[in-house]
Amino acid sequence: MRVLIGWMCILGVVMTNESFSLNRSVIEKPFVVILMGPPGAGKGTHAKPLAAHLSIPHISTGDLFREHISIQTPLGRKAKTYIDQGKLVPDEVVLDMLFARISLPDCKHGYIFDGFPRTVSQAQALEKRIHNALVIVINLNVSDALLVERISGRLTCKKCGKSYHKKYDPPLLTGQCDVCKDVLYQRDDDKEEILKKRLEVYRSQTRPLIEYYGHQKDVLREIDATLTPGEVFHLVLHAVAVPAQV
């Protein structure tokens, strides 16, 4: 326990009853947390409460893509053609979106990346951009079978955006949002056939990042994301506070 407290102090972390946030007077470098894992591993689920605990913004490449797509920017139109096919968006498009976002004032003290980087080349480009930051990479491990069940059952309201799951969180009435009564739909990239392509792409192109970050001292943390959400988040909290080798 003394080791844990000591490292939390080094990282500028204040913790009380499992709740902690960054102490700006202790840590001067930007604090960057990278959440990795295949589609459906829970990156978005855990990124939001983690961002609240650490008082830094949660930056999701998926959210950035959807924002650019919804207002039909040139970058958004390019990204959509790849996303709809279950393919990775080219680096130049991703990097333009991400670097524009982290240049905003709210990212001064750090941020949480969800869904980026996805390739070693992206990681290298990021490293050049944030060479002075304190970086922690968390890899959420889940089997492909469980991922297919999790993602292929997701539904979203067309009007208000509320999310549901056919098995774990179904709407009161099939195909209808409980809140605004509008129609629920399944995103193209959540359909099973597209999802399997996404997993193939992940295994072939993104998985090498584990080896890349694994070679860097005290950067990578591995977490079993098949546990309950509460258990996984508890592990995530400790992962950002304790070096992997302690």
Residues serving a catalytic function are 43, 118, 154, 187, 198
How far apart, in whole angstroms, are the C-alpha atoms of residue 205 and residue 88? 9
CA neighbours closer than 13 Å in the CB half-sphere of residue 114: 23
Cβ pair 70, 126 in contact under 8 A: no
- Within 8 A by CB and 6+ apart from 229, the residues are 42, 45, 46
Cα–Cα dist 137/132, whole Å? 16
3-state secondary structure of 105: helix
From the list 2, 10, 1, the residue with the least C-alpha distance to 218 is: 10
